[in-house]
Structure 1
Amino acid sequence: MADSEVLRQLEESTGDARRLQLETLRSILEANAGSAYLRRHLSGYLPDALDATTFRRLVPLSSYDDYADFIARIADGVDPPTSLSFDPLLCFFYSSGTSNLRPKLIPFFDSSHAKSASNLAHQASSTLLRRLFPPRQTVNKILWFLYAGNVTETKGGFKVMAASAYPFHRKGPNPLLSMIASPPEVVLGSDNHQQMYCHLLCGFSNSASIDGIRAPYAAGLVRAIRLLESKWKQLCNDIESGLVNPEITDAAMRDAVQELLGGPQPEMAKRIREACGKSNWGGILGELWPEVRYVACVTTGSMEQYYPILKHYAGDLPLLCGDYFTSECPVGINMDRMRSPEETSFVILPNAAYFEFIPFEMGDSSEAKETVDICGVEVGKMYEVVATTYRGLYRYRLGDVVKVVGFYNSSPQVQFITRAPKEASEIFTERELVSAMENFQLMLREGHRGEVVEFAGFLDSGSGLKHVIIFVEVSIDCMFLQRENMEESIAYLRRCCSSIEGCLGNVYRVKRSDGDLGPLQISIVKPGSFDGLAKLAMENGAPANQYKPPKVIRNLGLVDLLKASVVVRASLEGN
């Protein structure tokens, strides 16, 4: 489809959002009203008799727990996929959430309506990027940190993978493969660490033709750059000799990269050594890949914490934010990719799913609140997003809180604010935790005491008074990791606790003042602790493509791992 036609269809779909939303709901119900899940709520109603109001009155709001048994029985081959949808079940997608060890399974049904909406969303995304950076004939490769090899199979014979991996496993030609600097054997490799290394090696070998650097999430791009920081000398040796390091044990990946290298490149190795040997890596990406015009990844939500460090590495290169696509469905498209994360907004796609919005205020329960439709939202207000999808999920709470900042034609334009609390008892949000850690980072920089590398918060309800623990990984040069400075570190951390507590939101402050919460504890963990969490999550099925380091931890196993890595801790009252 020509770019002009894609944009015309996008304009048309957002021009009469209410009509398109009602048509979307009708097509979903016409196909799936007879599914076992919906029959429980719509018994006696024919699809033609169901308008949006009746549907919302009869079908309750839902969360993943409401589908877990259905999905497990379908995955095991016990029940047919018609429990959720009458469209053919193609596979399952992993969710990207990582607050628990195992990712959720999201069914992916072969719906013609869903395929049409998804194609428009992805084509519009590509078109908007091409308008910013028109294609060049010879500089046409992307250093794209993609990992699509983690594919498993359920007892019932259905494949399970990341949503972003699906294009590499469906039948037929895949135009993405011709754009990526690495051969398919790297993208489809079996070991994330080896894949990341080989992506870098292929990026260097194709240096003159790299037009952009991409990753699904900012966290993944930061991990790749950290690998470059630790392995650049080894990478240079590989480039210089034209031989892949023996550490790469995946035979298919190794052979493909070896062929791509095409022999020794001593001048390339020399140039990389000169760039990486500098003490300041500001703007390093442009130095290493001189033809690159942009860096792109999701930088909103919990990914916003990585934006400053990526800007440091990118230098003058624009850092583009991606779209609002979830494993459950596409939600919104980013019409202005050049904006910073705090200014990024997404236009809701009216044909992607039937959307509802629960009014949201920090600290308030949303249980008793009525939803509003796409035309009932108000600019300046916050809402939790609810979606009825073509993937067998009905009035499903996506768990995202957005703020309406305007309208594009008649479709709401929203900013991602935070993940919604999973329980009413939760006392801080991801957004508030990120804000608190930004404050902590500023304090560390002012005292030249190091950098925050990663963090996560946990409400400890164990013995004694409930209290929040924030686990923080810091740079290896940080004073907190030096045994001779332990007393000074504890005293400094204790002084920081009060300022950090002030950023954790109204609910936290009220509970602290009422005596329902004990003092905040800051626990500094060993370098590499959060890499250990990533490795564990991937071993338990989390896709490397979509891995997002957890910010609010709910799994006690993850908490125990971090507690075992603590080197120093402090709170306002005692150690």
Structure 2
Amino acid sequence: MSSGYELKDLEELTSNAKQIQDDVLKEILTLNATTKYLRQFLHGNSDKELFKKSVPVVSYDDVWPYIERVANGEQTDLISGGPITRFLGSSGTSGGKQKIFPVNDKYTEKLGYVLALRSLVMSKHASDNGVEQGKTMEFNYVRPEPKTPSGLPVSTVFTSFFMSDYFKNRTSKHSSEYTSPDQVILCPDNNQSLYCHLLCGLVQRDEVMRIGATFAYPLVLAINYLENHWKELCNNIRAGHVSEWITNLDCRNAVSAILGGPNHKLADVIEQECSHKSWEGIITRLWPKTKYMESIFTGQMAQYIPILEFYSNKLPLVSTTYGSSESTFGLNVDPLRKPEDVSYTFVPNISYFEFLPVDHEGDMESIVDLVNVKLGFYYEPVVTNYFGLHRYLIGDILQVTGFYNSTPQFRFVRRKNVVLSVETEATTEEDLLKALAHATQVIESSNFMLVGFTCYADISTCPGHYVFYWELKAKGANDVVELDKNVLVECCCVLEESFDALYRDLRTREGLIGALEIRVVQQGTFDSLMEYFISQGGSVAQYKTPLCVNSSEALAVLENKVLARFFSERSPPLDL
């Protein structure tokens, strides 16, 4: 999807970031200055300094009344000078509730532009590393689009993208880059779509060079699905026809054309590999030419790195882009770096970006432009887009790690509002993932691996304490997980020792935090948790297992599956 663009476009963009950002803001304000929302601050003016002086920094609760009125049928010029053709829904798993944002086709074009740049960057790095051209087995999905009272569809970012003319009208050269035909991506039944993604990928196994998904979790989900359905997939390949339960005719016909006739030899090879006791390295055994896996492995997706490395013989894990429903932000210009070292270079012609220092202490005048951020400092992005969001706080915390030409690069640190707290301590997403990495080292020598986790602060006990839900899986394909109390108690202790000094003080000296608890849940529990969030309006493609669970309904899903409980048996040391 890189047709019409060249890598020099990225060089020009990043070398002229200040002027491009000024031009973007001027264009946005010229389009939107007379909307009811902005008119109260700008009085029809599109001056940058007046904008920065008068337009407040806002959260979703501030803009929701305007969005709701447009969704209910009032004129779009309440918030947008351009047409509003649909709403994008957030995943709802990061911050606890789903949000919707107004957009039009310009959003899709800008997302497509960043994806095209991403493709060019990946092609350059792949060719530099001797990676042949070939196909991508990518697990993409759409979901049904509910309508607002005004009749406008509400979709996820990638449902909107895959159903757009931009995607459907791409050249045949770029459509053939994927093992799955468009009909599989556009199949509204995600179960049928996933099965057909795998079937198409297995039939074309010798052409697969890359495996990908929007987020890491759908990759884990696909492997688990393959583990449960490989015999049926082999039967399809051996017989040369698709299972009868694939009832979506467009999908069925397109996959049948790829399947061709019976292929006993291929079915035997797949059967032999899937019959091994251990599924370690199954990805490289089934798709031997695969050079890397492409998804988002930063932030809360980092929890899936160990299991994907287990399944892939530690193939490179490539995080390529950073974006949200509010805006696409940037891309990784050094994609083969390890996930923990990834930074994203902002693309300055997408939206207007400002940055609020994390230690601003309520001083909104400390906000700086994109090119004025400082190396090593922590910021929360503030976005102004073309569709009605003006100086909107994203809720992510980023750290400036460097510059690409004159454009800053950012490391994703955490979501601002994802914290655990029992007393006065604040355990962040970054703290949780760091602690989890230490605990994972404890279980590496055992016969099982962690495939899913979340947590919450249980204040129903006195004192309150942290509860971690862990789903464990045996490394051997058919082995039963035998829980080792010593190992799991040690994991509890290591988690606590990894938290900051205030947590350890409140736990050890003050006694105001109780012993940390791990509750081991049944296999498949985190799939059930995903199904719950999907039923609330989420999407498989955009699903991110929440690091912290606050919903009583989601907690009930977990509690109903608890097999065993383990507690820390020693207080963490005050000094480490």
* TM-score (ref. length: structure 2): 0.88
Q: Distance in 1 between matches of 2:435 and 2:518?
A: 12
Partner of 2:524: 528
- TM-superposed CA distance for 1:355, in Å, is 1.5
1:51 and 2:45 aligned:
no
Change (3 A) 1:336 1:100: closer
Q: Provide the rounded CA distance (Å) in 2 between the counterparts of 1:24 and 1:526.
A: 51
What residue is the counterpart of 1:289 in the other structure? 287
Question: Which shows bigger deviation, 553-562 or 511-520?
Answer: 511-520
Residues 482 and 280 (structure 1), Cα distance of their counterparts in 2 relative to 1, 3 Å cut: closer
Tell me how far apart the structure 2 counterparts of residues 38 and 556 of structure 1 sit (CA, whole Å).
Answer: 38
**In the alignment, which residue of structure 2 is the partner of 1:412?**
408
Change in CA separation of 1:173 and 1:192 when aligned onto 2, cut-off 3 Å: same
1:156 matched residue in structure 2: 150
2:101 pairs with one of 106, 122, 134: 106
Contact 1:99–1:555 at 8 Å: present in 2 too?
no
Superposition deviation, residue 320 in structure 1: 2.1
- Specify whether residues 242 and 456 from structure 1 end up closer, same or farther in structure 2 by C-alpha distance, changes over 3 A only: same
CA separation in 1, counterparts of 2:118 and 2:458?
A: 42
Change (3 A) 1:67 1:507: farther
Deviation at 1:73, TM superposition (A): 2.5
Instruction: Look up the match of 2:331.
Output: 333
Structure 1's 268 and 422: CA in aligned 2 closer, same or farther, altered over 3 A? closer
| Contact 1:400 1:418 (8 Å CA) reproduced | yes
Equivalence for 2:431 = 432
1:405 maps to amino acid: T
1:358/1:366 contact within 8 Å kept? no
CA RMSD in angstroms comes to 3.1
Asked whether the 8 Å contact 2:443–2:487 carries over to 1, the reply is: no
- Cα displacement (A) at 1:511: 4.5
Aligned to 1:214: 212
Q: How far apart are 1:411 and its partner, in Å?
A: 0.8
Q: 2:82 aligns with which of 65, 87, 93?
A: 87
Q: Equivalent pairs: percent with the same residue?
A: 34
Q: Structure 1: any 5+ residue segments left out of the alignment? A: none
Give the Å deviation of 1:295.
2.2
How many pairs are equivalent? 558
Gaps of 5+ in 2: 571-576
| Corresponding residue number in structure 1 for 2:39 | 39
Instruction: Tell me the residue number matched to 1:133.
Output: 126
From 388, 396, 400, the counterpart of 1:400:
396
Call closer, same or farther: CA 1:99–1:338 in 2, change over 3 Å.
Answer: closer
- Residue 539 of structure 1 aligns with which residue? 535
Spell out the pairing of 1:115-126 with structure 2 (5 A cutoff).
117-126=110-119
1:504 counterpart (499, 504, 510): 499
State how far apart, in whole Å, the 1-side matches of 2:299 and 2:152 are. Answer: 31
Determine if contact 1:97/1:550 at 8 Å carries over to the other structure: no
Residues 399 and 411, structure 2, Cα contact 8 Å, conserved in 1 = yes
Contact 1:329 1:389 in 2 (8 A): yes
Q: Which whole-Å CA distance do the structure 1 matches of 2:253 and 2:109 have between them?
A: 38
Structure 1 residue 147: deviation in Å?
A: 0.4
Provide the secondary structure at the position in 1 that maps to 2:25. Answer: helix
Change (3 A) 1:566 1:322: same
Partners of 2:52 and 2:506 lie apart in 1 by: 35
Aligned equivalent of 1:170, options 155, 164, 167: 164
Aligned partner of residue 21 in structure 1, secondary structure: helix
More off after superposition, 82-91 vs 178-187: 178-187
1:244-270 per-residue CA deviation (whole Å, 9 max, x = no partner) reads 234434444334323431221100001
- Relative to structure 2, which stretch is displaced further, 418-427 or 305-314? 418-427
1:166-315 to structure 2, matched below 5 A, reads: 166-171=160-165, 173-175=169-171, 177-315=175-313
Which string of whole-angstrom CA distances, capped at 9 and with x for unpartnered residues, describes residues 266-309 of structure 1? 00001111222223434332332234343211111111222232
Shift of 1:559: 1.5
Whether the 8 Å contact between 1:299 and 1:322 is mirrored in structure 2 is no
* Secondary structure of residue in 1 paired with 2:546: coil
Closer/same/farther in 2, CA of residues 451 and 118 from structure 1, 3 Å limit: closer
| Aligned partner letter, 1:429 | T
Normalising by the residue count of structure 1, what TM-score does the alignment of the two structures yield?
A: 0.88
Cα shift at 1:373: 2.0
Contact 2:95 2:418 in 1 (8 A): no
2:552 is matched with which residue: 539, 547, 556? Answer: 556
Following superposition, the deviation at residue 74 of structure 1 comes to: 1.8
Q: Distance in 1 between matches of 2:67 and 2:4?
A: 40
The separation in 2 between residues aligned to 1:301 and 1:547, in whole angstroms, is 13
**d(CA) in 2 for partners of 1:94, 1:204:** 33
The answer as to whether partners of 1:404 and 1:415 remain within 8 angstroms in 2 is yes
Instruction: Provide Cα deviations, 1:353-396, integer angstroms capped at 9, x if missing partner.
Output: 221222226xxx85446322223322122212221112321111
Assess, with a 3 A threshold, how the Cα gap between structure 1 residues 381 and 506 changes in structure 2: closer, same or farther.
Answer: farther
Rounded Cα–Cα distance in structure 2 between residues aligned with 1:423 and 1:314: 32
Distance in 2 of aligned mates of 1:387 and 1:217: 22
Equivalent position SS for 1:501 = helix
* 2:139 maps to 1:145: yes
Please tell me whether the aligned partners of residues 102 and 537 of structure 1 are also in contact (alpha carbons under 8 angstroms). Answer: no
1:68 alignment counterpart: 64
| 1:187-209 deviations in Å (ceiling 9; x for gaps) | 11222222111110011122233
> SS where residue 451 of structure 1 aligns?
strand
Match in the other structure for 1:444: 443
Q: In the superposition, relative to structure 1, how do residues 411 and 511 fare at CA in structure 2: closer, same or farther (>3 Å)?
A: farther
Task: Give the Cα separation in 2 of the matches to 1:211 and 1:278.
Answer: 23
TM-aligned CA distance change 1:315 to 1:569, over 3 Å: closer
